[in-house]
Structure 1
């Protein structure tokens, strides 16, 4: 009898104890009050835990790994009133919320200012998976090109694509893929053309000096790329277009117990041949050869639970081969590039505590048996890197205090001089704190960040800081002061000298000792039109900007020069819900001028940094039809450190028309993309011709619903 009673008690207690070992989650759906239309990109926060997620295209969200207890949930979205509630979370269970957001405005004559506005200064420009698919982006470069203040540098339609933010060099922008640096340790630059858009879940662009949080190379900005993880409906897509382009990709996801898995693959090939005029002074028509490209890749992901927290495991592999055709006036018919890259990451989060371990291996080969000048070369670079990061925070009153550490180890084998270090160990320790206060019926938020880094090449230590004050209200205002640094690359310091060029082992890192930034954002409604806008102005000095220059004995070498960096980023959006029309525009002024000895600021723009840039676009949707038109402007560029031979600015237009066809639980989408629709042939860098108008047709089929057992109850 006693044994039977004991067995009965164990049968009752055991399930409860097992459930108590698993944290709970908060999930739900955000929709517009009155219409029940799903709201994408609504921010859902657990403020006491410092956690924020964004709703997807169906308005759904999920916050996993939440400890048991009462938690405050706060929801906000531009154009809608804020919403908050208290929710009770139990271990092993999901708390489901159905959240209606109403348009709530404060009437000011004929203009209505909404009470909740986006904050691009704090959150940066965020591009979700739904927006990536709607834009027809092919690579990460296409995604980030739409962010204000961003310039994508490319050397032809199949060449590498690097990013410049606020007039910086590409080696002063840190690009992280699932926490692992994409920046090449030899060049310091990140080639975004090597990251397929099909593998991306979300991209965040943070302009400005952000070394206090992210460390080295974040001197002008950070690009955070999060690849896909978790269950998705199966889908397949094929594409074909001009320049002999053809592509195919597929993806699939499924539940696996309490976890979800996903996998996908893609392949793309471009012939790349086109005719162009040899030189502005020579109208002879020649053909661009050795401009072909082939790429392929695959990715896999697992999302589940481990040790009471949320676990995400991601992995991917890409291979690339392309010709390096050289400039138009100095073609290189035999130069080639081969690249293979594998990446993997493991991320874990439980409440405010998180940990990340990521790694990457890369092999890149460059060869040309008969270059147009110099000696033949056949160089291979091999890189292996491991990155680890851990962070945790705790709340006090209305604020939070957090600490973190990260470490990077990498081994590089490349065609460098004997003085080049092969293995580097670097990393940093950082802290951040934030608090809020009510003053004069306004909420003020103060945040501070500090970090100390060890450079893996020189062994030197560098300190960075950031202090931000934000005032919330109908107009949100933010003032920030930051510092940052970007170290020289191994290539600039230790490349093997050639004819007329020499390395510079004595290069110093670029330093931004004092960057001031002020920004304001707001949203309003005028009748049925929703309006939003923001403006950011910045001013800083760059000490020791690394640029190539003519030096002793008429040789070229990288060197340090001082420069001034100041500018303005503007963006405005208007949505006409009744007409399905959205218009937006962006303008950026980036004044990056030399501060040379004895001449102070001489007003000459640093080479290939356009002072003026921007875009304007319109999107329209009605029923199954969608259309978009966009025009981008790239301002004049200096090809030399003087005002001579300035390259004039140019416009480039893009058109996209798409239609959805429903077939039960499946949807077929067709889309026609036309780039440089008016046959524009302007190019950012002199000597790299553009083919003009290009077109591509995409056909995609995707399951619109997951099996009923996978839907939240």
Structure 2
């Protein structure tokens, strides 16, 4: 595989250099405009309206149930986190499962163990959430959405959601470029000379014919060098029973063509001189074949297949000394997709493949000027290309340049944070006409007030202006002529409060409560209207949306005695996401598709000595599957309950555990996406040993 990576990198780097030369004129034009932007740096740094946080807390740390102190918090903006120790507690099998309890999150799930899963945060849609994998974005320029079902949790230490962005100044410019950031941190070796290695072997099994063995090898090479390698296999037939309620039938059918076969190898090489001077090189190879079941109503016997082969190589360097910090990231990636549908109504069916390549470079730096005042600058460049075997394809290549200026200012009680993002996007096509380049400045302003000069109680507010350029599918998929699509523009407003208190000498260790009200405005919303004839697919700016909502979160941990602890959390989201495009249209003031007004979740668990038992509950109100809120498109609300348990023990003096999960314990029949029925009651068993 290393040889393949080297060959791929050599060929693709040459291609990227050639592409860059083609783009040199547009880059020079961009640099001239950037020069004008940089002249405004002194005004940015001196303007109190864009001052911000100097908080040393860089992210919301994990809530470890073995801890007796309150977790550290990012308080300036809403942030939620789930750590590896909590994945079982929330019955999480992949990243989509891990975040489904988060306030403001709506996971669109197409059902089954291999079903596609995407996330929408605060009603903005999946295209407005970027996914970071160890500080580097997992990008899909073709569709703009990341399938979270492909991201397993085996090598993940924590998953965090930041709205609208992480608090740190020394971050890639891409972290400023979306309405929310989903950050995935992987495990890094922490070994010593007494035991220079660690091997984890485990297997999951359960319903749908699931067999999921996995292996992790951590090795200390020297005082400064170490590596980690992970192997992961997932096989399942994906068959489960369901009842199609819309035809008033009591007959149970079996969901078919939901099988999945996944193989993944990933790892990293780490050099650590100190926590402030370290280097990492990571690789990831992913290969899968899965069936796409199709809708119950129209295609019960779907034969659609999806093949993926993805790999990337990324490197990151972090350095900090005195008041200066530096972060450099590089990445080369390739994503291959092969889609077949033999039943498609054209000769020979549908058989398409796509190959996406990206080269990415980022540099970020931050300076602490006075102890109260910090400034930061980050610059990203990405060259992304997409090839396909579909007829009359444009073969686009996109150059993306991002520059972000950021600053924070802390007076004690008041904290100000601001950033200005400069985005430049230029497309070139091999055939046909490329869309005109886009260039835009977008600001973010964050303010907090701490009445008591600490983070126990904080009032916070932010405003963010951002936009989304059309992805490759929206702009070029079967585009007979150039599509005149405007960027999708979003304005976000948020006001809220957070309370966090530790109770020393009490049975309650800590309580954390947060509440945020928000208003989002989406203009020139991009609508993709597929057609049975791909050449007649329509993509247009057709909508404006107003989103008003409230997110409330509560977490607590109680230590009853030295052996018994109880944790509990609850989240609630109220969201009215209304179409405000045209008062004369029937869809005016209708709720946008797949957006429930009410979503709630509750999780509670207890640990007693080597035993643990957890309960998870989720509730969603009714939704509509169409912009027209008519009875034909009505989807009933649902609630589901999950149970999980774990027992820790030693096997031949080596730590081990067994775990059992029962999902949807009351066997509810429900659908998240119209006509994609979810499984009823199903089970998973896990055995793991650490050598």
TM-score (norm 1): 0.78
In structure 1, list runs of 5 or more residues that go unmatched: 1-46, 61-76, 81-115, 704-713
- How is 1:611-650 mapped onto 2 (pairs within 5 angstroms)? 611-645=597-631, 646-650=634-638
> Which has the higher mean CA deviation after the structures are superposed, 645-654 or 124-133?
124-133
* Helix, strand or coil at the partner of 2:158: strand
The equivalent residue for 1:459 is 437
In structure 1, distance between residues paired with 2:353 and 2:528: 24
Question: C-alpha displacement at 1:505, in angstroms?
Answer: 1.7
Q: Distance in 2 between matches of 1:581 and 1:160?
A: 34
Moved over 6 A (4+): 53-60, 209-213, 372-375
SS of the residue corresponding to residue 474 of structure 2 reads helix
**Quick check: 1:261 aligned with 2:227?**
yes
Counting only pairs closer than 5 Å after superposition, residues 422-433 of structure 1 correspond to structure 2 as: 422-433=396-407
CA RMSD of aligned residues (A): 3.1
- Aligned counterpart, 2:569: 584
For the pair 1:168 / 2:124, whether they are aligned, the reply is: yes
Contact kept in structure 1, 2:175 and 2:181, CA below 8 Å: no
Alignment of 1:393 with 2:366, yes or no, is yes
1:548 Cα offset (Å): 4.0
**SS of alignment partner, residue 609 of structure 1:** coil
My pick for the range that moved more, 179-188 or 397-406, is 179-188
The Cα offsets for residues 46-72 of structure 1, whole Å up to 9 and x where unpaired, read as x98968488789999xxxxxxxxxxxx
Q: Which runs of 5+ in 2 are unaligned?
A: 1-52, 192-197, 428-435
Specify which structure has the higher proportion of strand: 1
| Separation in 2, partners of 1:374, 1:229 | 51
Query: Of residues 681, 688, 691 in structure 2, which corresponds to 1:700?
Result: 688
CA distance in 1, matches of 2:529, 2:559: 53
2:269 match: 302
Pairing 1:564–2:546 present: yes
Normalised by the length of structure 2, the TM-score is 0.80
Output one character per residue of 1:578-614: Cα deviation in whole Å (capped at 9) or x when no partner: 1511221100112211112245994211111222112
Q: For 1:413 and 1:195, locate their aligned partners in 2 and report how far apart those are by CA, in whole Å.
A: 24
Structure 1: how far apart are the matches of 2:363 and 2:623?
A: 42
Determine which of 76, 79, 83 is the counterpart of 1:128.
Answer: 83
Q: Of 303, 309, 324, which residue of structure 2 is paired with 1:334?
A: 303
Q: Which residue of 1 aligns with 2:523?
A: 543
Match of 1:230 in 2: 189
Number of aligned positions between the proteins: 596
CA distance in 1, matches of 2:172, 2:442: 8
SS at 2:622 equivalent:
coil
Contact 2:62/2:158 (<8 A) preserved: no
2:113 matches 1:119 = no
CA shift digits 1:340-395 (9 cap, x unpaired): 11122111011011101112111110001123789711000101111111011111
Which of 207, 210, 213 lines up with 1:242 in the alignment?
207
Shift of 1:144: 2.1
- Structure 1: distance between partners of 2:63 and 2:410: 32
Q: Find the counterpart in structure 2 of residue 488 from structure 1.
A: 470
Q: Tell me if structure 2 keeps the 8 A contact 1:615–1:632.
A: yes
Once the 2 structures are TM-superposed, how far is the Cα of residue 209 of structure 1 from its aligned partner? 7.3
1:290 CA displacement: 1.1
Cα deviation 1:414-452 (Å, max 9, x = unaligned): 2567463521111211111111114xxxx2111111110
**Residue 681, structure 1, aligned to residue 669, structure 2:** yes
Equivalents in 1 of 2:597, 2:629: separation in Å?
13
Report 1 or 2 for greater relative contact order, CA contacts < 8 Å, sequence distance ≥ 6. Answer: 2
Secondary structure of the structure 2 residue equivalent to 1:167: coil
Contact 1:180 1:360 in 2 (8 A): no
CA pair 691-136 structure 1, distance change in 2 beyond 3 A: closer
CA distance 1:612–1:375, change in 2 (3 Å): farther
Query: Structure 1 residues 340, 213: CA separation in 2 closer, same or farther (over 3 Å shift)?
Result: closer
Distance in 1, matches of 2:481 and 2:597, equals 29
Contact 2:159–2:182 at 8 Å: present in 1 too? Answer: yes
Aligned to 1:316: 284
Is this contact kept in 2: 1:293–1:323, CA < 8 A?
yes
Distance 1:288 1:466, change over 3 A: same
Change (3 A) 1:687 1:138: same
The structure with the larger Rg is 1
Q: Distance in 2 between matches of 1:590 and 1:674?
A: 30
Q: Report the Cα distance in structure 1 between the residues aligned to 2:99 and 2:481, rounded to whole angstroms.
A: 32
CA apart distance, 1:133:
5.8
Find 2:317's aligned residue among 348, 363, 367: 348
Q: Is the 8 A contact 2:377 2:406 kept in 1?
A: yes
Note if 1:436 corresponds to 2:410: yes
In 2 relative to 1, CA 48–223 (structure 1 residues): closer, same or farther, beyond 3 Å? closer
Give the direction of change, closer, same or farther, for the CA distance of 1:662–1:139 in structure 2 (3 Å limit): same
- Contact preservation (8 Å) 1:516, 1:538: yes
SS at match of 2:672: coil
1:12-51, CA deviations, whole angstroms, 9 ceiling, x for partnerless residues?
xxxxxxxxxxxxxxxxxxxxxxxxxxxxxxxxxxx98968
Aligned to 1:448: 418
Does residue 1:286 correspond to 2:256, yes or no?
no
**Distance change in 2, residues 1:388/1:49 (3 Å):** farther
SS in 2 for 1:455: strand
Q: 1:51 to 1:156 in 2, by over 3 A?
A: closer
Offset, 1:234: 1.4
Structure 2 residue matching 1:643: 3-state secondary structure = coil
